[in-house]
Chain A
Amino acid sequence: MIGVIAWATCREAVRSRTFLLLLAVYLLGVLMSRIVGWISATDGNVITTDVVFSLQSIMGVLVAVATGTALVHVEIQQKTLYTVLSRPLPRWQFVLGKYLGLCLALAAGQVAMLIIGLIYLAATGAPVHYWLLIAGLLTIVEVLVMAAVSLCWTALSSPLLAAVLGLATYALGHAVHSLPGLVHHLKGTQQTIAIALASLVPDLGQFAYRNEAVYRTPIALDDLLMRLVYGGLWCALLVFITIAVIRRKQL
């Protein structure tokens, strides 16, 4: 049942205008990235690569927030889920299937972006190497975590508020990565509170390997695995919260 829901959700998502529009914006951005490379004072190839990979992350997160926030709430508003939930399946399977379907669509979009980006870099003479693939993989994980964040916020609030909170979580998620460097300035309770608050949002800096990859800075295998597990655990926790909320929801 979960697979059936996931596949239908994926098909619905990849055909949506938002998804296709943001993919088109990505293409346009990639084509323009060379211009940024030309006008930059440093190595043009490095800047172009950086822009292409940053675009993949930003567009991926925007698609994740836009589709993630709409995923369940629009179903409730338009009552499309009535015909689905009237079938012999428990709600947790519905939520999990929806999330996995969204992940499938987002991952497909991300892989498409990664391939387009790498082909473009190769065509424009920028170096293409193994570490860029790792950076792409970690960006995909970041996008999937953001999809779970958006889904969770939607279950707890309205779609508009969820989108705002989703983007705020994205900003905070990157900010908390630099917290360990700052926290030693705080003392006692302040330090404890700062650490406690930081642990409430996913540390998205764990997946921002883009800059290092551009300069071919290696990442250890165990470090990579730890980051993947960290992302997976956040996804599981957020989907679990969403299921707990949706199970109690009156439709």
Chain B
Amino acid sequence: MSADAILTFTNVSFTYRGDWLQRVQALKKVDLTVPRGSAFGFLGANGAGKSTSIKLVMGLLHGHQGDIRMFGQPLGDHRLRARIGYLPEHPYFYDNLAVGEYLAYMARLSGLAPDAIPAAIDRVCQLLDLADLKKRMLGSFSKGMRQRFGLAQAIIHQPDLLVLDEPFSGLDPLWRARFREVMALERKRGATLCFSTHILSDVEDLCDHYGVIDHGVVLEQGRLEDLVKQAPLVLTGSGPMPSAAMGNHDGTWRWQFPEAEREKNLATLPVGAQILRLERNRIGLEDYFVARVKAFHAAGKRLDGTGAA
């Protein structure tokens, strides 16, 4: 395990046991590392294994094989959770408790001293525009408001590790932007961010590390800049058109090529060709997943991660 890792999965497998001996293997020999101080985006489609991984970390599921370590220590000591803030997917809270009451409750459970709680509540309420709603019962909250409250309760004790399961779910564009700001502020404070999503743009905007999981297998992980480099470049130009380019209806042309061919292609542009834009073609998550899974199969590997079929 790297000394700089705040969370590591080593060879972790997990099987859900249902009724009548039904078994579903949700994680298959997962190896994953979340570096300390990073913003880690955990990408995967619905049912890929993201929430299962998070629930194992939070102690909501147990009975896994392999080794999971938090802050360098094996799971099991509940006191480690004092250093984690957690926002579950589609969070629900007690209907008959007010915002202020619930935040105070969470702060006490997180080990905050009673005299530090009012200031902590004010801080998170200000960050997430909940100050006017402190006395409002949580049962009256909409989905988006619950999500805001969910983030507030997750950061009230200023945790070292913030684990967020689909944090942008149910938010309008304005609140998505605000969530990004709050998450950036938390990171600036020194917290490590680890959040799951199936929206690649969220990862691009916030993260410097990523992991991709599909059918319980981690397909790849690493630095985001390495992933971004996999996206092809798109050169938009005018004037004489290279033979591999495609013409646009406004008289310009468009040429797509991989990063590795950037220097060569720029050097061999026809004389008189003018570069209007050179940008990266953002990878659509769906296309990316399809490509990755197809490549995974094409390489002759099985989805249980055991190598050649």
Contacts and interface: CB of A to CB of B under 8 A. Distances in A.
A16 B81 contact: no
Among B16, B59, B108, B109, find the residue whose CB has the most chain A CB atoms closer than 10 A. Answer: B109
Interface stretch (A5-13, A55-63, A190-198, A211-219): A5-13
B62 A250 contact: yes
A79 B90 CA distance: 9
A1 B94 CA distance: 18
| A contact residues, range | 20 to 34
Contacts of A83: 86, 88, 91, 93, 106, 150, 153-154
Given A88-B81, A88-B110, A12 B96 contact: yes
Interface in B80-127: 80-82, 84, 86, 88, 90-97, 101-102, 105-106, 108-111
B62 A87 contact: no
A86 B155 CA distance: 13
B58 interface: yes
A5 B102 CA distance: 11
A73 to B, nearest CB: 14
A15 B59 contact: no
A12 B94 CA distance: 7
A158 interface: no
A79 B108 contact: no
Interface residues of B, number: 36
Contact of A88 (B16, B82, B88, B102): B82
Contacts of A122: none
Given A8-B97, A12-B97, A250-B62, A86 B86 contact: yes
Given A8-B97, A11-B96, A11-B97, A86 B81 contact: yes
Nearest to A90: B78
Interface string A72-92: 000000111011111111100
Interface string B259-278: 00000000000000000000
Given A80-B92, A83-B86, A88 B80 contact: yes
Given A83-B106, A88-B110, 9 more contacts: A4-B109, A16-B96, A80-B92, A86-B59, A88-B78, A88-B80, A88-B109, A88-B111, A250-B63
Interface of A: 1, 4-5, 8, 11-12, 15-16, 78-80, 82-90, 250-251
Interface of B: 16-17, 55, 58-63, 78-82, 84, 86, 88, 90-97, 101-102, 105-106, 108-111, 150, 153-154
